[in-house]
Amino acid sequence: MEMDTSPSSSVPSSASSDSIDLNFLPFLKREPKSEPASPERWPLPPPPPPPPAQAATAASTPMPATPELSAAAVMTPLQSLPPNPDEDALFAEYYRLASLYLSSAGTGVIVPSPTPEVAASAVVQPGSGNAAKKRRPRSSELVRVSSLSVRDQIYFRDLVRRARITFESLRGMLLRDDERAEALGLAGVAGFAAVDRRRVRADLRAAALMGDRDLWLNRDRRIVGPIPGISVGDAFFFRMELCVLGLHGQVQAGIDFVSAGQSSSGEPIATSIIVSGGYEDDDDRGDILVYTGHGGRDPNLHKHCVDQKLEGGNLALERSMAYGIEIRVIRAVKTRRSPIGKVYFYDGLYKVVDFWLDRGKSGFGVYKYKMLRIEGQEAMGSLNFRLAEQLKVNALTFRPTGYLSFDISMGRETMPVVLYNDVDDDRDPLLFEYLARPIFPSSAVQGKFGEGGGGCECTDNCSIGCYCAARNGSEFAYDKAGALLRGKPLVYECGPYCRCPPSCPNRVSQKGLMNRLEVFRSRETGWGVRSFDLIKAGTFICEFSGIVLTHQQSEIMSVNGDCLVRPSRFPPRWLDWGDVSDVYPEYVAPNNPAVADLKFSIDVSRARNVACYFSHSCSPNVFVQFVLFDHYNVSYPHLMIFAMENIPPLRELSIDYGMIDEWMGKLTM
């Protein structure tokens, strides 16, 4: 592109073009900025030549570009179902009952579950129909989703969660298959399919499997603005996952946009960007972001070697600025708690307010885009991440008041559990004895320690084929990093009767907390729990502890109105974790080892642990997995809590206590 080297104003309007009607391009028409133009700034190049399609439209129709574009780009907001007054009354009643039930346990909010009718009415559906060998290209239809009802939000949240579980489960399966093939010595054996695939990344293979079955979300429509089911602050570990969900459709490129050919205006429109820190000219201050356009770099050296051009994503960002289209911003943050060393946070919507051609640090021309975060959104995931990191080391610097305890476990947990309340003067959690481990009735565990043949004889870490693996249906429940591969009726960990060392990977949940948790007070949910650490989906969080009561004891206690947690009441959410039936319809959830009908309960009225403060949700982010390791009485398993999603720092943990179905039955009778 030919550069205009004469000194001129730094605002785009200075480079006027007859073919663009400034009346309809407010951003191009604004007054020069008050701040003085930096001497580093280059004069702006002439604006992009209008694409033929737009020129034709402008010539043939007096109707200018902007309204037409808003019709095209803003398009059909989704309509939620009108609220059903009867249903609302029902949900109000749930809420009242839930409050009564939970007042003694100190937990939270009931959110109504979606009805099948709502699910059917949802507008953005995953692709359906026959498995297409060829993946469909992304379509050009632009949609902005607005004002979803609570039920729709939950519906989409579950839809997204299901896709993410499928993706992560497939990835885990493929990795494990690769390891098995390697362990069997198949590496290097010519013609063995698994070996050929071994070199292919599991995230890409998982995405391809889902693509073959039309399981990518939001392929039919290109969504401007928020993606239903994805919240500001959500965390992701793979770029490919962002593609699968439709949050960002480019595998590697940082700017995603609707291409010129697909846009109704004939111009590219940017929809999302990823700020990965790889461009030296970025200036990221959170709410204010100066983002560098792409291109102009040597593909190997990642250094600028030529001036960037106003094309592709660069042009699309400029067009989005002109039309006021909001941009989803995803930031990459380095962390050790990620399989790839970094995590992507969805940080919400921004608007491009300025762009200019600048001289980058390399000396070559780079396009820069000043973006401002739209106000009124949830806190940025990347900001919460940094804040939580600070709170771990300098608690009082950032929150000088509100701490009731820096460790309510008094050292009984492997990590401190903070108690924090800056809302009111409630100090209830201090009144209970902290019990890191449940106390089982002696009748339940007596003589059950060696039951089932005792432990394994492995002297090193356990491996496939060992006794404890056989107990778990010949596969270990956890991957190398300690994440649960898929939920089961019951997981057997190695225990005191095993010869393997404490470092054995089959001892995940007995090691205690691995995250820094905080019990906190909120106006919405009463007491709740959140983590300072990023929690990866499938990893262990904590145990549900208290005084374990036998069936008979439970009957007596419940008559007295005491606060009991009944394990059998938790819906079997573990069924979801590891479910790949969308890709493999023949998939059946593990039904082995069989688990008994659980009749015991846990009394948390006197002694309890952090788990007691989890809020209830019917769209939860954690679930209960039953585990045995110290005794082998299948009627009294441990209630271990695992993450069902990636849980970003400072987000409230929520669990499905399973009351809704019961009340639904009562209320509809």
Partner DNA sequence: GCCGTTTCAAAGCC
Partner DNA sequence: CGGCTTTGAAACGG
Residues that bind DNA (CB under 7 A): 135, 137-138, 199-204, 207-208, 211, 237-240, 243, 249-254, 257-262, 268, 274-279, 282, 291-292, 294-297, 299-300, 311-312, 332, 336, 339-340, 342
Q: Which residue matches tokens 């559990």? A: 417
Nearest to 211 by CA among 138, 136, 129, 160: 136
CB of 478 to DNA, least distance (A): 18
Shortest Å, Cβ 585 to DNA = 21
Nearest to 579 by CA among 538, 640, 632: 538
**Which DSSP letter does residue 255 get?**
E
Residue number, 260 or 462, with CB nearest to DNA: 260
Nearest-10 Cα torsion for 432, 435, 440, 442: -90
CA 377 – CA 550 distance, rounded (Å): 48
CA angle 407, 410, 411 (to 5 degrees): 95
Closer Cβ to DNA, 50 or 295, answer by number:
295
CB of residue 177 vs DNA: minimum separation in angstroms? 12
Q: How far apart are CA 61 and CA 610, in angstroms?
A: 65
**Least separation, in Å, of the C-beta of 276 and DNA?**
3
How far apart are CB 480 and DNA at their closest, in Å?
Answer: 11
Structure tokens, 71: 């019709």
Give the whole-angstrom CA distance, residue 440 versus residue 452: 19
Q: How far apart, in Å, are the Cα atoms of 623 and each of 123, 426, 529, 567, 657?
A: 29, 28, 14, 12, 9
Would you say 283 or 426 has its CB closer to DNA?
283
Nearest residue (CB) to DNA, 8 versus 125: 125
Nearer to DNA, 197 or 599 (CB): 197
Report how far residue 227's alpha carbon sits from residue 216's, in angstroms, rounded to the nearest whole number. 13
Residue 137 CB, shortest distance to DNA, in Å, is: 5
Q: Between 203 and 543, whose beta carbon lies closer to DNA?
A: 203
CA distances from 130 to 167, 236, 619 (A): 19, 29, 29
Closest approach of DNA to the CB of residue 282, in Å:
5
Choose between 178 and 518: whose C-beta lies nearer to DNA: 178
Which of 203, 347 has the CB closer to DNA? 203
Q: What spatial distance separates the first Cα and last Cα of the chain, rounded to whole Å?
A: 73
Min dist CB 476 to DNA, Å, is 19
Query: What totals of helices (H) and strands (E) does the chain contain, helices first?
Result: 16, 25
Q: Are 206 and 170 in contact (CB under 8 A)?
A: yes
Q: Which is nearer to DNA, 186 or 204 (CB)?
A: 204
344 and 237 Cβ atoms separated by less than 8 Å: yes
Residue pair 140/221 in contact (Cβ under 8 Å)? The answer is no
Q: What is the CA radius of gyration of the chain?
A: 28
Q: How far is the CB of 297 from DNA (least distance, A)?
A: 6
